[in-house]
Amino acid sequence: MLKRLKLMRLPKFPSISISTQVPLLLGSTLLVSLLLAGSLLTRQITEITHQQAQYLGETLAKQTANTARDFLVSGDRLSLTVLLNQLTRSDTVARATIFSVDNKRIASTESKTYDPDKSYILYSAPIDYQNVIAGQLRLELDLGHFEKTGKQTLWLFIGMAFLLGATGTIVAWNYAKSRQLLLNRSVRQLQGLTHGRIAFDETTHDEFEQLSRQLEYLIIQDRNTPDIQPEPVQKLEEKQEPEDGIILAVRLSNLSRLHRSMNQIALLNLLEEQLPYIAQAAKLHNGTITYSAEGNAYILFSKDLGINAAIFKAICCARLIQRLLKRQHSDETPALEVELGISTIEPQNPGENHPSLADSAASQSLMLANLGQGRLLLDGYYTEESLKKIQTPLHETTFGEDISEVGALPEQFQLLLDRQAQQILSQE
């Protein structure tokens, strides 16, 4: 039996998050255990109650029959009535009756709680006088009185079990929620290693399933990638320590499509014409721009004036870039399409670790740009005071509690960005 339990596999719920699976499984297990324990306890209480009622009914009937013998022979009905009345004063006996040999009622009393429509347990005993049956005593016992204590114990057990089950479920939910955040971060790091590619569909919400598929995709991709030595790239001066700031990633989402649809000269002309817009927008908002070998741009905004001010500059710069490239695209000419993401993660020195951790903020911002698919995403947690300083509403997303979608800027800032876009375009 124990071996079968060890080999038993729990059901999988790929469409349910781990923060819901753990309390759901625990709650279901506790509920089933409570039902089984309650049914066994109810059965035991019922058996004990019937045994107790049977023993009391038979003993009480025999003792009362012996006491009523002399009263019945002498015809003292008043004494018989008093005797039976003493029995029905308790909550146990609902009705007591003495019948003659020819089944005629001689004396009878009923308790205050007697209900003719209710069924009672009947116990009888003969009234003997000198080995001759002189009459019969019948007692009707209320089984509910015997079951009352057992039911109170059962309800107390159910209440305590429910309280403990609810407490355990809440603790399990809080624990699973913290594990979910760690798993989501691991999944996003793996997506950063695969340039933002998502290896699972939208119906998969199980973080372990997401992590497994993303890791499998990374392994297969590395196995199928040919080992080609890259061309030598001009080395840039590396800073000893990473600069602290907010990073805005600008990903050219349609670059490969333009490369297939346009000749090389036209594509180079397009890049020379529209890439300066990104640089001018970064310069206008005091951002430092760098480019990666894949053609992605990273704009760094310093935190000298505070993290909230840096985030607001990054949001304004992102909206300005969208305006500049959108206006060019409206002229029915080929234009660059960008995906934007803002990361507030502190840069890290990799040391002995995996080299992908060197630019964690850049990888995170690029992953956000890929996830957004045209929407501007921002990571981190923000208080009400921080939101007031950012001056931009943030909306929840399905990618995790620490990833938000940036809403529309206030009208006065939108008008300012429109004037800045007109100034940059008029300089052509």
- 3-state SS, 301-343, equals EECCCCHHHHHHHHHHHHHHHHHHHHHHHCCCCCCCCEEEEEE
Alpha carbon distance 98, 136 (integer Å): 6
Closest CA to 107 of 97, 118, 116, 117: 97
Task: State the pLDDT at residue 238.
Answer: 42
Task: State the pLDDT at residue 350.
Answer: 40
pLDDT at residue 44 greater than cutoff 80: yes
Confidence class for position 211, pLDDT limits 50, 70, 90: confident
Whole-number mean pLDDT of the chain? 79
Mean pLDDT lowest among 83-87, 269-273, 288-292, 348-352: 348-352
**352, 380 in Cβ contact below 8 A?**
no
Alpha carbon distance 375, 90 (integer Å): 78
pLDDT at residue 140 greater than cutoff 60: yes
Confidence class for position 352, pLDDT limits 50, 70, 90: very low
| Cα radius of gyration rounded to whole Å, the chain | 42
pLDDT at residue 202 greater than cutoff 50: yes
Task: State the pLDDT at residue 42.
Answer: 84
Alpha carbon distance 216, 226 (integer Å): 18
pLDDT at residue 144 greater than cutoff 80: no
Task: State the pLDDT at residue 219.
Answer: 82
Q: What is the pLDDT of residues 88-133, one digit of tens each?
A: 887 788 888 888 888 888 888 888 888 888 888 888 888 887 778 8
Q: Where in the chain is the domain with CATH 3.30.70.1230?
A: 242-426
pLDDT at residue 331 greater than cutoff 70: no
411 — phi, psi (to 5°)? Answer: -60, -40
Task: State the pLDDT at residue 12.
Answer: 59
Closest CA to 210 of 189, 239, 193, 187: 187
**127, 136 in Cβ contact below 8 A?**
yes
The owner of tokens 């938000």 is 404
Mean pLDDT lowest among 223-227, 248-252, 268-272, 409-413: 223-227
pLDDT at residue 338 greater than cutoff 50: yes
* Widest pairwise Cα distance in the chain: 132
Question: What is the average per-residue pLDDT within 199-206?
Answer: 78
**172, 23 in Cβ contact below 8 A?**
yes
Task: State the pLDDT at residue 317.
Answer: 93
Alpha carbon distance 422, 213 (integer Å): 46
Confidence class for position 11, pLDDT limits 50, 70, 90: low
Distances (CA, A) of 274 to 282, 316, 318, 327, 414: 13, 18, 15, 11, 21
Alpha carbon distance 419, 354 (integer Å): 45
- Residue 321 tokens read as 């870039």
Fold of the domain built from segment(s) 242-426: Alpha-Beta Plaits (3.30.70)
- DSSP β-bridge partners for residue 135: 100, 127
Pairing assessment for the beta strands 338-343 and 377-379 based on DSSP bridges: parallel
End-to-end CA distance of the chain: 81
**Which range among 68-77, 168-177, 197-206, 388-397 has the greatest average pLDDT?**
168-177
SS3 assignment, position 122? strand
Task: State the pLDDT at residue 24.
Answer: 85
Task: State the pLDDT at residue 358.
Answer: 43
Kindly compute the dihedral angle of the four CA atoms of residues 239, 242, 246, 247, in this order, to the nearest 10 degrees: 60
H/E segment holding residue 213: helix 207-224
Global pTM reads: 0.47
* CB atoms near residue 13 (< 10 Å): 15
- DSSP β-bridge partners for residue 338: 252
Residues whose CB is less than 8 angstroms from the CB of residue 362 and which lie 6 or more positions away in sequence, other chains included: 247, 249, 292, 298, 343
Task: State the pLDDT at residue 328.
Answer: 56
Question: What is the average per-residue pLDDT within 324-353?
Answer: 67
Closest CA to 23 of 162, 167, 158: 167
Tell me the CATH number for domain 20-146: 3.30.450
Proportion of the chain above pLDDT 90, given as a percent: 2
Task: State the pLDDT at residue 299.
Answer: 92
- Residue 272 tokens read as 């020379």
- Residue 229 tokens read as 């030595």
Q: What is the pLDDT of residues 64-87, one digit of tens each?
A: 888 888 788 787 888 888 888 888
**392, 342 in Cβ contact below 8 A?**
no
Give Cα 225 to chain centroid, integer Å: 38
Task: State the pLDDT at residue 327.
Answer: 66
pLDDT at residue 227 greater than cutoff 60: no
pLDDT at residue 262 greater than cutoff 80: no
Angle at 162 between CA 159 and CA 167, to 5 degrees: 125
Question: What is the average per-residue pLDDT within 337-359?
Answer: 61
Task: State the pLDDT at residue 218.
Answer: 80
Q: Where in the chain is the domain with CATH 3.30.450?
A: 20-146
pLDDT at residue 236 greater than cutoff 50: no
Closest CA to 321 of 249, 426, 407: 249
- Residue 19 tokens read as 């923060």
Confidence class for position 57, pLDDT limits 50, 70, 90: confident
**Which range among 37-46, 144-153, 187-196 has the greatest average pLDDT?**
37-46
Task: State the pLDDT at residue 222.
Answer: 64
What are the helix and strand counts (H, E) for the chain?
Answer: 11, 11
Angle at 72 between CA 70 and CA 77, to 5 degrees: 115
Alpha carbon distance 135, 103 (integer Å): 8
